[in-house]
Amino acid sequence: MTDLYVDPSAQDRLASLVDEAFDLGVVARELGGRDLASLTDTVSPQGVVAVCRRVDVGLDEVVRPGARLLVCCVQVRDPGNAGTVVRCADAFGADGVVLSTGSVELTNPKTVRASVGSLFHLPLTVGADLAAVVAAAHAAGLQVLAADGSGDVELSELSRTGGLVAPTLWLFGNEAWGMPPEDRALADRVVRVPLYGAAESLNLATAAAVCLYTTATAQHDG
C-alpha cells in the first residue's frame, strides 16, 4: 500500500485500519465523499480507498520446487470468478496462483473485490504461457490436473485412491467454453467433479473450490 484515502464521515469506523496503515508508514489522508467516490466504481463505496503496488511476480516465484498446491486459471475471463478462485486458493492453503495469457486482469476492480484481500496473501503471476506453466510445474515435481467435465477420472475416486496427495497444479478453464483439447492435453490427467443431479456443469469458482478443498484435505490428512 502506498496511499490511503478515508472519507471523514467513515473515520471512526475505520480507526483501526488507519492505525495499522500508520504503523506501516502510510499516513491516511481525508478525502470527501464525492471525490473519494470518483476513485471507485462501486455504487456504494465503503468510505476508504487504498493505492497499492502491483502484486504480481515472475512465474518462477510461483511455480517452484517445494510448492504443494498451485492453481492456474486458463483464459478465465469473468473478473468475479477469477477473484473468487484466488480467494479459494488462499483459503485452501495454495502456494500460488497463475493467470494464463488471455485471462482477465488481476487489477480488474471486480477481481480485486471478489478476492477479499487474498490477492495480497499468496504469490500471483499473470500473462503466463500455459505450456511454460506446465513445464515449470513438472520440473518442480508437481503433477498437473485439469478440471473438466470431459475428464476420465472422478475427483472423488482420485481422492479415495490417494491421487491427490502428491504436489499438484490444478488447471481451471474458461467459464463459457471450458478448456480446449490442446490445453487439456498438457495435463497429466483430466478430472471431472462428479455431478449427481440434472445440472450439466458447475460454476467455475465452485468447481475450483471443490477441487482445491478435496486436494488440500487429502494433502493435510494424507
- In this complex, which beta carbon is closest to a second copy, that of residue 91 or of residue 135? 91
CB nearer to a second copy: give 29 or 160: 160
- Sign, Cα dihedral of 113, 115, 120, 123: negative
Neighbouring residues of 103: CB distance < 8 A, sequence distance ≥ 6: 73, 74, 75, 76, 77, 82, 126
Least distance to a second copy from the beta carbon of 130, Å?
24
The residue assigned the cell 504480481 is: 56
CB of 108 to a second copy, least distance (A): 17
- Between CA 116 and CA 82 the distance in angstroms is 12
- Residues of this chain that interact with a second copy (CB under 8 A) are 80, 84, 87-94, 114, 116-118, 121-122, 156, 160, 193-199, 201-203, 205-210, 213-214, 216-217, 220-221
Strand partners, 169: 70, 144
C-beta of 192: minimal distance to a second copy in Å? 12
Nearer to a second copy, 71 or 130 (CB): 71
CB nearer a second copy, residue 154 or residue 188 = 154
Q: 64-75 burial, b for 16+ CB within 10 Å, e for fewer?
A: beebbbbbbbbb
Among the listed residues 65, 75, 66, 68, the one whose alpha carbon sits nearest the alpha carbon of residue 98: 75
Beta-carbon count within 10 A of 3 CB: 13
**Nearest distance from C-beta of residue 88 to a second copy, angstroms:** 6
Q: Which is nearer to a second copy, 64 or 121 (CB)?
A: 121
Q: How far is the CB of 80 from a second copy (least distance, A)?
A: 8
